[in-house]
Amino acid sequence: MTPDSLHDSARRIALTYPFTEHCWPFGPEYDVFKVGGRIFMLTTPRSRPGAGEPQGRAAKITAEPGDLSQH
């Protein structure tokens, strides 16, 4: 799985959850996903914005272990 396909899959799955809000409170390069005003996933470029081309991408997901086994 490439970094871009990881982000695409994570976004697609996150948006299947009810009441998910997709927003950009930290700038356009950071995709944030919330439910009930609480962040459950943040995707980010690996390098700092303005520091050149990103070397890859990262995703931070907060969930209970049993929740992730469904996908």
Contacts for 62 with CB less than 8 Å, ≥ 6 apart: 39, 40, 41
- Note the pLDDT tens digit of each residue in 3-60: 778 888 888 999 998 999 999 999 988 899 999 888 888 888 755 555 555 555 666 6
The token pair that represents 25 in the structure block: 């409170």
* pLDDT at residue number 34: 92
Residue 70 belongs to some domain of the structure: no
| 23 within domain boundaries | yes
Radius of gyration, CA atoms only, the chain: 13
Is 16 among the domain residues?
A: yes
Q: Is residue 44 part of a domain?
A: yes
Q: What's the total number of domains in the chain?
A: 1
Considering the domain boundaries, does residue 59 fall inside one?
yes
Domain span at residue 32 reads 3-48+55-64
CB distance 33 to 39 below 8 Å: yes
